[in-house]
Chains A and B, each alone.
Chain A
Amino acid sequence: MRLPAQPGERLDRTRPLTFTFEGATVEAFEGDTIASALYAGGRRVFSRSFKYHRPRGLLCCTGSCPNCLMQVDGAPGIRACIEPARAGAVVRAQNVLGSLDRDALAVIGKIGGPFTPVGFYYRTMIRPRWAWPYYEKVLRNLAGLGRVDRHGRRTRRFDTEHRRTQVLVIGGSEGGVTAARAAAAAGEQVVLVDEGLSLELGGLDELGIEVVAPARAIGIYEGGLVPVDAGNVLLRFRAERIVVATGSLDQPLVFPGNDLVGVMLPNGIRRLVREWALRPGERAVVIAPAVEPIVDDLRAAGTEVARVFDLNERPPKEIVARGRKGRLASVRVDGETVACDLLVMSSGRQPAYSLLAQAGARIEYDAATGIFVPRDLPANVEAAGSVAGTSHAVPNLFPASAGKRRFVCLCEDVTTKDVRRAIAEGFDSLELAKRYTTVTMGPCQGRLCHLASVRLYARETGSDEAAIGTTTARPPWSPVTLGLLAGRGHEPVKHTSLHRRHEELGARMMWAGAWRRVHSYGDPAEETRAVHRAVGVIDVSTLGKLVVSGPDAVAFLERLYPNRFVDLKPGRIRYGVLGTDAGRIMDDGTIGRLSEQQLYVTTTSTGAEAVLEWFEWWNAVWRMDVEIVDVTGALAAVNVAGPNARELLGRLTELDVSPDGFRYLDLKEAPVAGTPCLLLRIGFVGELGYEIHCPSPLAEHLWDTLLERGADLGVRPFGLEAQRILRLEKQHIIVGQDTDSESNAIDAGMPWIVKLDKEDFVGKWALEHLQERGPRERLVGFELDGAAVPAEGSQVVVAGRPAGRVTSARWSDELQRSIGLAWVPPALAEEGSRLEIRLNGSLQPAVVRARPFFDPEGTRLRS
């Protein structure tokens, strides 16, 4: 049923569309909301209440109250009164068992109502203890409103867009439009964001004002960030000036029967009539402070106005609404009963100040106007129009009537009796009472219940609104979906220059920090065999790489590391362990001396950024003559390792690669396969090996050449899993796996690194102390009796208690043994000590091995 065309209505009557509600077809026009179309079709009950499942109808029609929350296309909690009707939309009721009109759970409201006072749950179902989980299941099933499909997927695309403007006006209220026009006239760049409720925004674009609508400001965050929900796009606004013009909100009256279907707020009436050409009811009673506009709206719709009570003139003493099956039937005011199906009521309007409060404004009660108003606005934030406090509101509490509830908070079904009871129990501050009764904590965020609850509170405690104050305004201002917040959600990921080659080889990839690295190419055991028997190549481009240069370069590293570097000759390399100022292991890697004043430092893959920061921090503190250049990304690196490594390298370079020409721990610069390279002869995996560092754009060429020219030598790419086994055979540690934030180099079995006779270095005092104190635990190698391999993280057990932990463990094909590294009590750290390691719930014997399992003398490494 529609009225004839109204001036300025939103409907485009030439464009009808249909959607479904609970399976039935609903007719609508372009410009309708879901709620207006349903109302046109005769629907009056739009939801069931949170706790008592009472029928609820349209109240505010501005997206401010919980009364029209529905499921739309599977999404819960949609405010149907502001959700545009879309052709084909599938709309359902939520929080009902059965249907909106016949909700089986309404029994809770009928018989359970008196039995579920505030705080009910805290006092019941305590005994017997075993029964609580069953009670709880029932409770959980009763709670909640909407439903998400447990096995649903992502269905919508949301983007994020960053916007800047000189002036951002939030809200197309009269005050907002005026402010926008003024700013535009002053030559400022203006954007106006409106929820789509305002009708008078035409012509603004001609003034150069950009109107974004329908869109809702989510909040005002630090730095003046104003994120705006614009449907499928999140607009992150930053403005030099923010003008908040969110207007004011109709505040309901609190009287018996105030939640009946047919009780509405003035603005809701206005929208139904003026925007969607609907007749809100047949016979109305009006009780409000400003009655004329309401009466005008009703008359325009052809609704009979049975009785009008102007609260500004003569406030009634008593209001009681009565209904039939949850729908309004009559209103009794001061003894006079008027039959009606519509009651338009309001106590006035309260500024919608939440955004201002979030931005830092102080909220204060103004006794003269009876409302809370924003004061002391932060710099660059302004209030325009009624949000600044130009509205007013009259007292809204009316006396109880036998057997009738007065709802203070519709979202949470909180009655005046609940609040009174909470106060009587001792919840005597607003914040405590809010938590106990949950008033203001529902989907409306206090928009319609905050003022009422403060008034009630003031009356019950014999205080006044000013003394009671407000609760903290928590963002977001309007509920926002996780999908919109998440946006496209790309996680930054780093690829080495050889990434495509690994993919082509069918590698299994894994994360290492932000890097993707090769776990294996399918057969880690074969990969380790290739390194032991022939030659393997592994992509180690992810290593952190720094060039440290300058007159103080060596002195700088001397002060950073516990190692000694003054005697490190150009062309030579040393293993280094970087410590924190508490002497704990931070990172490890190699330090090569390129020349007198240049050093080449490598770090672990995941530690690179922290080490760079650490270096730059100390460089800034010490002010030494040092330059640090991060060349991590500039260089790719490939480790070529195995007995055939020399032969392979020799084929690709003119460098003398003989054992004497290129010794263990030598550093050389030379072209390899035509690419300029830095070569480090080191041996993390325990075999003769060369780490070749080259410019990243040439890495594929180097890699391809190594594989091509090494084919007859049995060359094979290997991944991290093979590397883990190989290094474990040598008892080489992995920082972060074999060590944690408390480990130090002495206890970790590397006391030779720590030169306590050096003048000073980071963490020296702590290491001296640790040296003196003696170890609490030590990192040692172990072999397990038998073939089982304990999971990493397994415990070393002494007398039934956890006494140590396995940090690394693998089966070694080469050694035909189960080997590992573990932290153990010092008493159990000697070669040959017997350990017990818990594995699948039982204890397995193991023996400590202090020296590398494989090639303990290092002859293969140095060959």
Chain B
Amino acid sequence: MKDIFRTRRMWRPRGELKRRYDVVVVGGGAHGLATAYYLARNHGITDVAVLEKSYIGSGAAGRNTTIIRSNYRTPEGAAFYQQSVELYKGLSRELDFNLLFSQLGHLTLAHSDRALITATERAEVNQLLGIESRLVGLDEIAKLCPELDLSTEVTWPVLGALYHPPGGIIRHDAVVWGLARSADRRGVEIHPYTEVTGIERANGRVTGVRTNRGEIACDAVVSATAGWSTLVADLAGVPLPITTHILQAFVTEPLKPFLDVIIVSSQMHVYVSQTDRGEILIGAEIEPYTTYRGTSTFPFLEYSARHVLELFPQLESARVLRQWTGLCDISPDFSPILGVTEVAGFLVSAGWGTYGFKAAPIVGTTLAELVATKRTPALIAPFALERFSTDTLVSELAAAAVSH
């Protein structure tokens, strides 16, 4: 308890870069910091530098809409995220930092027969894998979310929903800070405002990185740079089949408790939750055009507002306080690209689209294991980059339209 009142540094001030590290992690977001943390914690590898071009958590980790869930469509995806949710559940205690993880429950609304089929499929796959997930009818939806407009007068009446009780929201910044603190305490060096400008290779192996603060030698480079993945992989000469799009979101001014469950509607292209601060947080589908420019648009606010009010007409007088965008790296089959590349020692965590944040702890543990043992863990084997040349895709596409 006394720790609450004592001012104790979360992490050491940024120091000088050493000339050499065993492992360099590019990207000081949730994935990069989790990888560094688990390298130190699970494998005793502490000669690690995390290089971040801005402040930690400045990219997708600090811009996502914080939803954690595992009700995926493919058995590979569901099993993977199931492990992630399990890790998240214990993470506050493990890091001794309250990440404010609220397992409020997650409802994916179906407004069409087609959406009901997808919901059924996800529920069935999930149940076979031991994940709490089931199809619910209007009566149960009304109990779980009495605020939702379930009338048939709306444009797209709700027909049913996929209910995933363990689904929740978390304080995204806290995840970043908690991981950074624990990684730092175990000896990992965190270098904000350190941009990677080149990746050195010799004989098909990584030998080091160039940065705006000088050169570093290393044996392994892990790129965990989300929206900038293609740019960083290009530095290593590894082309990734990824396009970068923006995803937009906004919050309202804080309101007293209104919504005690997470609502997702693919048909409406929105998902809605209420943060612990009381803001209603609304996110949308990725924009269809590719860009690295994070400019917020007004039509996004207009169509999102229209769709939110279809679901929650009583939010008519709620006020939008702030809107922002994040970059999303989309792979052809909407599943991640995780693990080794054709350049030895250059590992990637990419292609996360809109579901990277929820995978942070499992990405950290599996990539750390891969770095330490040089063997790809079975859980992430289906997500190998190689699958695009062997045509063994893991298609989350059917469930992915808006599946946060």
Contacts and interface: CB of A to CB of B under 8 A. Distances in A.
Direct contact, A vs B (beta carbon within 8 Å): yes
Nearest to A424: B7
Nearest to B255: A144
Contacts of B9: 424-426
A798 to B, nearest CB: 11
B384 to A, nearest CB: 16
B118 interface: yes
A111 interface: no
B254 interface: yes
B204 interface: no
Given A151-B314, A432-B55, A838-B124, A474 B276 contact: no
B378 interface: no
Interface string B66-85: 00000000010000000000
B3 interface: yes
B310 interface: yes
Q: Which of A122, A160, A426 has the most CB of B within 10 A?
A: A122
B252 interface: yes
Given A154-B313, A421-B7, A425-B7, A479 B397 contact: no
Given A126-B98, A156-B316, A482-B316, A140 B257 contact: yes
Contact of A805 (B90, B121, B295): B121
B132 to A, nearest CB: 14
B117 A76 contact: no
A485 B4 contact: no
B124 A795 contact: yes
B323 A476 contact: yes
A93 to B, nearest CB: 13
B120 A122 contact: no
26 contacts: A77-B253, A121-B98, A129-B93, A140-B257, A143-B256, A143-B278, A160-B302, A222-B295, A424-B7, A425-B8, A426-B10, A426-B11, A436-B173, A474-B322, A479-B320, A483-B309, A489-B309, A491-B155, A740-B397, A740-B398, A741-B397, A773-B391, A793-B116, A793-B118, A793-B120, A795-B125
A160 B174 CA distance: 40
B113 interface: yes
A123 B97 CA distance: 5
Interface in B106-132: 111-114, 116-125, 127-129
Interface of B: 1, 3-5, 7-13, 54-58, 62, 75, 89-90, 92-93, 96-103, 111-114, 116-125, 127-129, 135, 146-147, 155-156, 171, 173-174, 177-178, 192, 252-258, 274, 276-278, 295-298, 301-302, 304-306, 308-310, 313-324, 333, 391-393, 395, 397-398
Contact of B298 (A150, A219, A474, A479): A219
Contacts of B255: 76, 144-148
Given A482-B316, A483-B309, A740-B398, A76 B4 contact: no
Nearest 5 Cβ contacts at the A-B interface: A144-B278, A793-B120, A75-B317, A152-B314, A793-B121
Q: Which of B75, B116, B192, B296 has the most CB of A within 10 A?
A: B296
A479 B120 CA distance: 40
A139 B100 CA distance: 10
A183 to B, nearest CB: 25
Contact of A150 (B147, B319, B391): B147
Given A74-B317, A438-B277, 9 more contacts: A123-B3, A143-B257, A144-B255, A151-B146, A425-B8, A480-B320, A482-B305, A482-B316, A489-B310
Contacts of B12: 426
Nearest to A483: B316
Interface string A482-503: 1101110101010000000000
Nearest to B322: A474
Interface in A200-235: 218-219, 221-222, 225, 227
B55 A123 contact: no
Interface in A405-429: 421, 424-429
Contacts, number: 271
Given A123-B3, A792-B120, A797 B128 contact: yes
A395 interface: no
Contacts of B310: 489
B177 A122 contact: yes
Contacts of A443: 253, 321
Nearest to B135: A791
A859 interface: no
A228 to B, nearest CB: 11
A800 interface: yes
A737 B391 contact: no
B96 to A, nearest CB: 6
Given A443-B321, A482-B316, A140 B127 contact: no
A314 interface: no
A793 B124 contact: yes
B93 A795 contact: no
A112 B389 CA distance: 60
A233 to B, nearest CB: 14
B277 A143 contact: yes
